[in-house]
Amino acid sequence: MQSVVIEQPGRLVIQQRPLPQPAAGEVRVKVKFAGICGSDVHIYHGHNPFARYPRVIGHEFFGVIDQVGSDVDPQRIGERVSVDPVVSCGHCYPCSIGRPNVCTELQVIGVHRDGGFSDYACAPARNAYRIPESISDRHAAMVEPFTIAANITAHLQPGADDIALIYGAGPMGLTVIQTLKGVYGVKQVIVTDRIAERLVMAQENGADWTFNNAEASLPAELEQRGIRPTLIVDAACHPAILQEAIHLASPAARIGIMGFSGDACTVTQQSITSKELSIFSSRLNSARFPQVIDWMADGKIDPQRLITHCVAAGEVEQAMLMFEKDQRTCCKVLLQFS
Ligand code: NAI
Ligand code: MN
Ligand code: ZN
C-alpha cells in the first residue's frame, strides 16, 4: 500500500509500505477520503510538539473496514466508518469522567501514531463509527472537524438568545457557526476575520453578520452598535484575542478558546472576575462522533459548505502547500484514495 509519510520535518514522501495487520481489538480501514487539517501542515513543518517522526499523518478520515483483529466481530468487515483519532486508556482520571480527549496517555491517530493518509489504516474498533447510508463518503470524512465544534459548544451551552461572536472563519470557525445555527438555533452569530473571502464563506455557513477586523476596529464597531456578545469563540487563536474577547464580553458571558500557542497573553483577574466570565478551553473531542453523525444525518449541519477541493492522494504535497498558502480560495481540502 502507499502511505503519506513525513519522514522528518520538511520531508514528505509517498512510501510503499506493507499492509498493516490489525492487532487485537483493532480494525483495518481501507481509506476512501481524508481531510487536510492545519495540524497536518504543522507536523510537516516540524511545528507540532507532540509529533514523532517518521509519521503517517491524517486524522480526519473515512473508509471501509476490510479486516478485523481478534476480539472484533468479523461482521464489521464491509462497514463504512469514520475514525475518531482520540485513543485513550479508559482508566485515568479524565477518562473516568468522560473526557478521554485529555487522557493522561492520549494518543492521537495521525500525530502520536500512524494516521489516515494511507491506503489502509488500523485503529481501535471502538474508534471506528458506523456511517449511515444517507451520508456520502466525502461528507463522512468531515465528521472529525465538526466534533471539534461539538466539543467546544458542549462546554459553552449556547442558547437561542445568545449573541455569539466568533473569531476566525477558517474550517474551525465555520464548523462552529454551523453548529451554533443548525444545532443550537442561535439567532445572532457575528463572525470576524481578516480575509474578505473567508467572511463570504462565513456567510455561506450561516453567519448573520460579518466584520473584517483588518480594515476597522471591531471593539469600536460593537460599542457603536451597543452589542455585547454573551458567547465568544476564539477559532483564530492568536494569543492577543483572549484579552479583546474579555473586554468585549457581556457580564456573565462564556468564552471558548482552542489555541495551542506557547506565547503569553495578558489578561487581568479584574477583567474576568468583575464580569464573572466563564472561560472554557476545548481540545479535540470527547466521544462526540455519534452526536455529529446524527447531526449530519438529520441535515442540521452541511459539510459540503466547507469543502472547496478534492484531489487525488498522490497530489498531497501540492494540496498541502495550496491549503497553507491560499486561504482565500481554500477551506477544506479532501484527499481521495483509490
Ligand atoms: P485557519 O488558519 O484556517 O483559520 C484561522 C482564521 O483566523 C483565518 O481565516 C485567519 O484569517 C483568521 N484570523 C487570524 N487572526 C485573526 C484575528 N486576530 N482576528 C480575526 N480573525 C483572525 O485555521 P483553522 O483550521 O480554522 O483552525 C483555527 C485554530 O484552531 C488553529 O489555531 C488551530 O490550531 C486550532 N485548532 C484547535 C483544535 C482544538 O481541538 N483545540 C482543533 C483544531 C484546530
Ligand atoms: Mn483536524
Ligand atoms: Zn485515560
Q: What are the extents of the domains in the chain?
A: 2-142+306-336, 155-281
How far, in Å, CA of 198 to CA of 181, rounded?
18
pLDDT of 330 reads 97
Is the four-CA dihedral 100, 101, 105, 107 of positive or negative sign? positive
Answer whether residue 338 shows pLDDT above 90. Answer: no
CA of residue 37 to ligand 2 center, whole Å: 5
Burial of 269 (0-12, 13-18, 19+ CB in 10 A): exposed
Q: What percent of the chain has pLDDT over 70?
A: 100
pLDDT of 43 reads 97
Nearest Cα neighbor of 52 from 43, 62, 60, 61 is 43
Query: CB-based contacts of 215: which residues, under 8 Å, 6+ apart?
Result: none
Beta carbon of 238 within 6 Å of any ligand 1 atom: yes
pLDDT of 49 reads 87
How far, in Å, CA of 70 to CA of 164, rounded?
48
CA of residue 289 to ligand 3 center, whole Å: 18
DSSP line for 249-317: SPTT-EEEE-----S-----HHHHHTTT-EEEE--S-SS-HHHHHHHHHTTSS-GGGGEEEEEEGGGHH
What CATH number belongs to 2-142+306-336? 3.90.180.10
Please name the helix (run of DSSP H) or strand (run of DSSP E) that holds residue 137, with its range, or none: helix 137-140
Answer whether residue 251 shows pLDDT above 90. Answer: yes
Note the pLDDT tens digit of each residue in 313-333.
999 999 999 999 999 999 999
CATH T-level assignment (fold) for domain 155-281? Rossmann fold (3.40.50)
Q: What percent of the chain has pLDDT over 90?
A: 99
Note the pLDDT tens digit of each residue in 187-237.
999 999 999 999 999 999 999 999 999 999 999 999 999 999 999 999 999
Mutate to test the pocket of ligand 1, among 198, 237, 324, 327 (most ligand atoms within 8 A of CB): 237
Note the pLDDT tens digit of each residue in 21-63.
999 999 999 999 999 999 999 999 999 988 999 999 999 999 9
How far, in Å, CA of 304 to CA of 294, rounded?
16
pLDDT of 50 reads 86
